[in-house]
Amino acid sequence: MALSNTLFNISSFALCLLFLFGTTSGQLSATFYARTCPNFRIVITRAVNSAVSSEARMGASLLRLHFHDCFVNGCDASVLLDDTANFTGEKTAGPNNNSLRGFNVIDTIKTQLESLCPGVVSCADILSAAARDSVVALRGPSWNVVFGRRDSTTASQSAANSNLPSPGASLSGLISSFSNQGFTTNEMVALSGAHTIGQARCTVFRNRLYNENNINSSFATSLRPNCPSSGGDNNLSPLDASATSFDNRYYNDLINQRGLLHSDQELFNGGSTDAQVRTYSSNAATFSTDFANAMVKMGNLNPLTGSSGQVRTNCRRTN
């Protein structure tokens, strides 16, 4: 707890400096809304804190929304678009369908911001800020978010199906998937630590419980009543043993063969990433720093800026 608070205070101080002196990443800037909507961060943080306070799992859901948005065509809020009679978006892609959640929280934030400063703050920027605030709300590290992303006017179900890593992925598959987005293997292992919070549905880890050998037997036995060999697809289990607290427990679980998903346990299965998992399991500060740095990089994946895209007034549909 002390470590997380220290990291938060350091990052908060750094953010204050950024607002005073400004910083840019391409056309993104920490001060992008300084004149047009100076209180937008307060609105987002309050809404996220309220949502996470009501349901801790929502923190993981909002973080995952940001990830599933950025990994498809860049951080452009394409994941938020609803399907229409003439348009099929990303929500019904295999990795997202009946799985992504938190859309209502984003809607609430957008409605409040449209009342405060109409047509100014993009949905993509809301997703980026909400992801950071969610991690902080669950006692994790903070990082500096820059703004100025614009929203896409389209989405790609096929890109979502092909770009997002599967919970059944091998280590080589994970490395390749993240490499395609410009991430190193070390950054992939750090970002996988997002699974220190949240829950997963039985349907995505059932095969691991009944057909894999690199799983702690008592762990598997404890999960089977809630995830039978057939039925109960939507029954939930925590992704690590402290799923409502952002910490390094996830990596300790992997060392003890208690990874819930096949893709989780692949990070510690006699392969090239074992050493990094051991480092994170024993050094929470290193994990927090590496995770925060990787999230900054995540938020800067191919954003729409300038005159590209639009600022949607409703995150679920184009203007």
196 is in an annotated binding site: yes
CB-based contact 152:304 (threshold 8 Å): yes
Paired with 201 in beta bridges are 236
Point out the catalytic residue in the list 68, 139, 262, 312. 68
Task: Determine whether 66 is an active site residue.
Answer: no
76 is in an annotated binding site: yes
262 is in an annotated binding site: no
69 is in an annotated binding site: yes
Nearest in space to 149 (alpha carbons), one of 319, 298, 13, 48: 298
CA 275 to chain centre: 24
193 is in an annotated binding site: no
- Helices 185-192 + 171-179 axis angle, to 10: 110
165 is in an annotated binding site: yes
Which runs of E-coded beta strand occur in 61-115? none
Nearest in space to 214 (alpha carbons), one of 261, 145, 144, 247: 261
Contacts for 297 with CB less than 8 Å, ≥ 6 apart? 182, 183, 187
CA atoms of 24 and 212, how far apart (whole Å): 47
72 is in an annotated binding site: yes
Nearest in space to 254 (alpha carbons), one of 228, 272, 280: 280
141 is in an annotated binding site: no
66 is in an annotated binding site: no
Give the total residue count for the chain: 319
Q: Is 65 strand, coil or helix?
A: helix
162 is in an annotated binding site: no
128 is in an annotated binding site: no
Write out the catalytic residue numbers: 68
Residue numbers in the known binding site for substrate are 165
Residue numbers in the known binding site for heme b are 195
Residue numbers in the known binding site for Ca(2+) are 69, 72, 74, 76, 78, 90, 196, 240, 247
Residue numbers in the known binding site are 69, 72, 74, 76, 78, 90, 165, 195-196, 240, 247
